[in-house]
Chains A and B, each alone.
Chain A
Amino acid sequence: MKLTPGAVITEPGSTTRYQTNGWRTFRPAVDSGKCTGCGLCWLYCPDAVISRGKPPGVDYRYCKGCGICANECPAKAITMVPEERG
């Protein structure tokens, strides 16, 4: 891929090629026992990496670990756990 002068991106959807999981220091872990399937995590996720379900699915290739899902979850079913290194 050759860069264009001025960093103009001429094709749509190029962000899918840039996986942002490396930005994450905490990952959302879902407790399926507590999850009520209300869908608020899916609604609030700013990166649209959560798919609806009981429990919800998280696309860890793009999740940046912002923690909004855990903060919004009314059932306290999502906790942010340190990303394991190594």
Chain B
Amino acid sequence: MKQALTGNEAAAIAAKLARVKVISAYPITPQTAVVERLAEFVANGELDAEFIKVESEHSALSACIGAAATGTRTFTATSSQGLMLMSEMLFVASGLRLPIVMANANRSLSAPLSIWCDQQDSMAVRDSGWVQLYCENNQEVLDSVLQAYRVAEELLLPVMVCFDGFILSHTAEPVDIPGQAEVDEFLPPYKLPNPLDPCRPVTMGPVGVPECYEEFRCMLQEATRASKEKLIEVGRAFWKHFRRRYGLIERYRSNDADVLLLTMGSLGSSAKDIVDSYRKRGEKVGLVRVRSFRPFPVKELIDALGSAKAVSVLEKDVSPGSAGALFLDTAAAFINVKRAPLMLDFICGLGGRDVSSLHIREAVRAATRAAEIGEVRKAVRWLGLREKLVGLRI
């Protein structure tokens, strides 16, 4: 059944279809509508779940951790400052290997205060041991939440489904809502191996002395690496049930491209339009969109980008003093590869700044120029920056 849904509604409906049993969240723009809708589902009896009201995001995730520890399917949602307040518990959730799924409507971080979109919030917690998926549209938001539970529960890893605040969270698009019976078949109930159970007591969260702490971190790293194969496997199963295809990356007219754009999230769909316009003129421009940022698809990106002459990364985050996170990881992917494309990093769309077709074309032109002269004069640049306001020539 197709319906016009915002990204927030898509996330809420997906959680309902997943038959989550415990939801705990705290309202924050632009995510609020996700849990508002879920609260309605619980209140009107459409969803048989416990909605735990809390006083902060730290408590929201803590409540989810407690619930998930009993083997209950658990959901939360947040954005920006909320995710920062959760950050301590993010590491606890992954360290305890609890399969919690979270929707994160990407929003910039204070200061200065901004409620608008960029991906700095989830990038800041990229090392928290959560699988991170970035969605291009609202259909992908719904589908990714369903897939997230399969990956989470089969590998005991928490999963964060990220979608751009306002651009997706508050924009309605036609979304195909699968039937409950189909979802039940795709996503059966799960059993946590060692749950908290008064009849069979266990200790959770003990001290990890130096003789074993490193081993637990290694086990988390290996499980997250294994989640690459699991995401592919679950993507295939999803295709069988719902006829929509998902992988770790999406390649768009990229096979023979000389110049490639590389991005994540909703920018993917804008970039596709620009790629089409270049292709119409016979120019070999393509797009690669990273859907799974953690685990990072190293092999897939080497395959997808390796034969291009130059790649422009478009990303809504920056690691001050270094570069954008997507650029850094992509560059690192090629570290021991003989043939690597030239790479440029474009920081853009921060704090809700619109990324227009002109900006994306500028990134294509810069990569084309780099390919022509065979070098990159300046690797990290800003797109759409109002230089006069900065008072510096950037």
B-binding residues in A (CB < 8 A): 3-10, 12, 14, 18
Contacts and interface: CB of A to CB of B under 8 A. Distances in A.
Given A10-B194, A18-B209, A5 B223 contact: yes
Interface string B213-251: 001100100010000000000000000000000000000
B300 to A, nearest CB: 26
A14 B156 CA distance: 24
A4 B95 CA distance: 11
A8 B219 CA distance: 13
Contacts of A12: 201
Nearest to B97: A6
Nearest to B96: A6
Interface residues of B, number: 20
A3 B208 CA distance: 11
Interface of B: 95-98, 156, 193-194, 201-206, 208-209, 212, 215-216, 219, 223
Nearest to B204: A8
Contacts of B205: 7
B98 A9 contact: no
Contacts of A6: 95-98, 156, 194, 204
A9 to B, nearest CB: 4
Given A5-B223, A7-B208, 15 more contacts: A3-B216, A3-B219, A4-B193, A5-B97, A6-B96, A6-B194, A7-B205, A8-B202, A8-B203, A9-B202, A9-B203, A9-B204, A9-B206, A10-B202, A14-B203
Nearest to B201: A12
A12 B203 CA distance: 8
Nearest to B98: A6
B41 to A, nearest CB: 30
Contacts of A14: 203
A12 B216 CA distance: 20
A5 B206 contact: no
A4 to B, nearest CB: 6
Contacts of B203: 8-9, 14
A18 B208 CA distance: 12
B218 to A, nearest CB: 10
B216 A7 contact: yes
Nearest to B219: A5
A46 B350 CA distance: 53
A3 B220 CA distance: 12
Contacts of A7: 95-96, 204-206, 208, 212, 216
Contacts of B156: 5-6
27 contacts: A3-B212, A3-B215, A3-B216, A3-B219, A4-B194, A5-B97, A5-B193, A5-B223, A6-B95, A6-B98, A7-B95, A7-B96, A7-B204, A7-B205, A7-B208, A7-B212, A7-B216, A8-B193, A8-B202, A8-B203, A9-B202, A9-B203, A9-B204, A9-B206, A10-B194, A12-B201, A14-B203
